[in-house]
Structure 1
Amino acid sequence: MDRKTFIRNSLGGIALATATPHLIYSESIQNPDPVDVKLVKEFVSAGHGDIKKVKEMLAEQPNLIYSRYDWGNGDFEEAIEGAGHVGNKEVAEYLISQGARVNLFVLTMLGKIELVKPILEMYPDLIFAKGPHGFTLLHHAKVGAQNEFYDYLIDKGLNKMQIEIR
């Protein structure tokens, strides 16, 4: 083999070796199969209070922790949010330990006021935000027995436990 053929073949091989893993990898992450909507609904429902089922389902399908169910009209909910609006601290803490995404509503229910208050001071309109099913921060403070924060929200003008999702 002469030098010119060797260089041409080498460059072609390098290009192929470099591109192949990228093509295989990008294809696998661009087109994953969606999680079955019935499974998502079952997991989100369990998140409201069935810690045993939550643990079992996560053991089988760890990515359920990121799944959201649409109850209709854009009323999306994750399992951790279900735990949040019913005041189930055990389920919420477990899901957080497994990597669930937390939000102001769940943090309010858990009494993490030192995290919530600065955000509300910076973005005061968030006091009137709606969580799943339209439950407000006031609702989450009540179900979490966060009486001092409940009073703080009332003082800031929030007087509704739930606001209709349009």
Structure 2
Amino acid sequence: MNSKTPMMKTSSHLSRRAVVKSAVFGALAVAIPNVVYAKTMVETKRQSKNINDLFYRYPAIHDDVVSEVVGKSHFDLNRVKELVDKRPELSRATWDWGFGDWETAVGAASHVGRRDIVTYLLSKGAKPNIFTFAVLGAFDTVKAMIGFYPGIQKNYGPHGISLLAHAEAGLRMKNTMTSEQISNSEKLISYLEKLGNADGKTFLSEPADKENYLGDYKYGDGENDGFSVKLNMRKMLTLGRLGNFGGALYRVGENRFKYNKFPTVSIHFNKENGKVVSLEVKELDLVLVAKKV
């Protein structure tokens, strides 16, 4: 008996431990689904709180992000990398600066001659076109494209900038280019000049009193109901939203301009006693008058 007593005690002790252990695991088995469910509810609640913060055109990428990528692609490689490395599809971002002046990120880098930004965006999936190849000095490619579709050299890039101007912009980073790249760019520029119609020079020279056109113009009572006429980096007249730069104005007559060379958008300035007092925007069936303030 004495020899069995310790064994019985041990068995009893193990049984109690097994019961306790089973109870604990049983409780966990019941609790785990509830924990998972509770976590799901918390996550759903957290997401629900953010639903109102979604862009109104979701799942479209927010306008602020798109406009920043395209805007920064004109001059800021580091910021472009911060945005595009995180989301490579932004390498194909496209923005309408006004009246259908569509510009891609790679298009922005192209017309200002930022070869470094162009090549970075291409490495991330940007879609090249004839203007991209022009800024890169791809003589054989551009010539082949023009040969395949004669007259394409007359088409304009963003802001009405010509194909020849893109090729010339390709030399702006000359100090970082190889001799072969420089040679190809110079050969392309010479080729486009000889074509005689790749420079976009089909408009009148700018008015001598262009400072007279500068200023803000209002067409409504709203805070943003208006335009601003400014000079861009090329010292050309531009028309943009109130307080902002916009598309270039190309003169077609006395006080009459085309917005970025677009055939459907005309800007006419009205003068009194030699001073500009208002402007009219005409596009398709719209005529909008804005008074100078």
- What range describes the TM-score normalised by the shorter chain of this pair? 0.7 to 0.9
Match of 2:81 among 37, 55, 61: 55
- TM-score for both structures, normalised by structure 2: 0.44
Deviation at 1:151, TM superposition (A): 1.8
CA deviation map 1:45-68 (0-9, x unaligned): 111121110110012322211220
Partner Cα separation in structure 1 for residue 134 and residue 155 of structure 2: 13
Partner Cα separation in structure 2 for residue 72 and residue 41 of structure 1: 12
1:112-151 alignment runs, 5 A limit: 112-145=138-171, 146-151=185-190
Q: Which amino acid aligns with 2:63?
A: V
Contact map agreement 1:81 1:106 (CA 8 A) in 2: yes
Deviation at 1:73, TM superposition (A): 1.1
Moved over 3 A (4+): none
Q: CA RMSD in A?
A: 1.8
Partner Cα separation in structure 2 for residue 39 and residue 138 of structure 1: 31
Contact map agreement 2:139 2:187 (CA 8 A) in 1: no
Q: Which has the higher strand share?
A: 2
Q: Which amino acid aligns with 1:164?
A: K
Q: Which structure has the greater CA radius of gyration? A: 2
Pair 44,73 (structure 1): closer, same or farther in 2 beyond 3 Å: same
Partner Cα separation in structure 2 for residue 94 and residue 141 of structure 1: 18
Contact map agreement 2:96 2:102 (CA 8 A) in 1: yes
Deviation at 1:159, TM superposition (A): 5.4
Contact map agreement 1:44 1:82 (CA 8 A) in 2: yes
Q: Which amino acid aligns with 2:193?
A: I
Partner Cα separation in structure 1 for residue 168 and residue 85 of structure 2: 32
1:3-152 alignment runs, 5 A limit: 33-145=59-171, 146-152=185-191
Pair 79,136 (structure 1): closer, same or farther in 2 beyond 3 Å: same
Structure 2 match to 1:155: 194
Structure 2 match to 1:3: none
Q: Which amino acid aligns with 1:154?
A: E
Between the two proteins, the alignment pairs up a number of residues equal to: 136
Q: Secondary structure at the match of 2:151?
A: helix
Contact map agreement 1:138 1:158 (CA 8 A) in 2: no
Gaps of 5+ in 1: 1-30
- TM-score for both structures, normalised by structure 1: 0.76
Q: Which has the higher helix share?
A: 1
Partner Cα separation in structure 1 for residue 88 and residue 199 of structure 2: 35
Deviation at 1:165, TM superposition (A): 2.6
Contact map agreement 2:91 2:122 (CA 8 A) in 1: no
Q: Which amino acid aligns with 1:165?
A: F
Contact map agreement 2:156 2:200 (CA 8 A) in 1: no
Partner Cα separation in structure 2 for residue 141 and residue 165 of structure 1: 22
Comparing 149-158 with 130-139, which one deviates more in the overlay? 149-158
